Structures are given as structure tokens and as C-alpha cells.
Amino acid sequence: MQYLLMLHYDEKAWAALPADTKGTLMGEFLQVTADLKKSGQFVAGDGLQPTHTATTVRVRDGKTATTDGPFAETREQLGGYYIIDVPNLDDAIKIAARIPSARVGGVEIRPLQMYPKT
């Protein structure tokens, strides 16, 4: 089963962290990623640029409109993701708990809908 782990945190709080704390947390992200790759559970993953770099696209009545920024204003922002391949939700939860975002924000877990390859 594949799961999307969405890493949410407050960008302003992250920016305010001391450099050494950020360095420690980034080291933990890299270790989780390395462990997932070694175990064969890693499918994909990356961090995202800050929300001010986002563009939202909407099509209404055949007309495309774009706006700067994310779709919704929230206290926490989507900062990165992992796609993992594990047997069940319990295993996905164990992995999510190891990701630093779980301590400084939250990790949302969603199973992927797997469509037949064409």
C-alpha cells in the first residue's frame, strides 16, 4: 500500500528557529529519508519552496485564472512530502512519527488511489 505523508508546519516559526536547530532537524529529515531508501519503503519525497512561491490555478467557464500563493490561508503550511510503500496504516504512522514535522507541526497520512497503468 502506498501512502502520501504531507508534512505541515508553520513557516514563520521555522524561519525563527536558530540555525543550529534547523540544522539538527534537517539532519533528522535526511536520516529518515536514508532509512526509508535502505528499507525499500521510499517511493518519492521532497521539500517544497515556501508558500509565497506557490501559484493556484482555477478554471471557470473555460477561463484559466491564476493567483499567487496557496489555495487556503492556514496556520500551518505544506512544506514537503513523502510517498512510502508499506503494508498498512500502522507502519505508515510509525514512519510519520519519526519525521521532525510531527514534533513541530503535523504529518497528514493519506492512502494513494492506485489506478491501473495504461
Give tens-digit pLDDT for 68-94. 876 666 678 889 999 999 999 999 999
DSSP 3-64: EEEEEEE-HHHHHHS-HHHHHHHHHHHHHHHHHHHHHT-EEEEEE---GGG-EEEEEETTEE
**Residue 116 placed within a domain:** no
pLDDT at res. 97 = 97
Total domains present in the chain: 1
Percent of the residues in the chain that have a pLDDT greater than 90, as a whole number: 72
Note down the domain range covering 44.
2-111
**Residue 117 placed within a domain:** no
What is the arithmetic mean of pLDDT over 95-114?
A: 94
pLDDT at res. 26 = 94
- Nearest CA-CA partner of 82 in 14, 35, 23: 35
Backbone angles phi, psi at 49, to 5 degrees: -65, 160
pLDDT at res. 114 = 82
* 3 state SS of 110: strand
Residue 79: all three cell numbers together: 512544506
Q: Against a cut of 0.85, is the pTM above it?
A: yes
Handedness of CA 97, 101, 104, 110 (dihedral sign): negative
The CATH code of the domain that includes 20 is: 3.30.70.1060
**Residue 76 placed within a domain:** yes
**Residue 18 placed within a domain:** yes
What is the arithmetic mean of pLDDT over 34-63?
A: 93
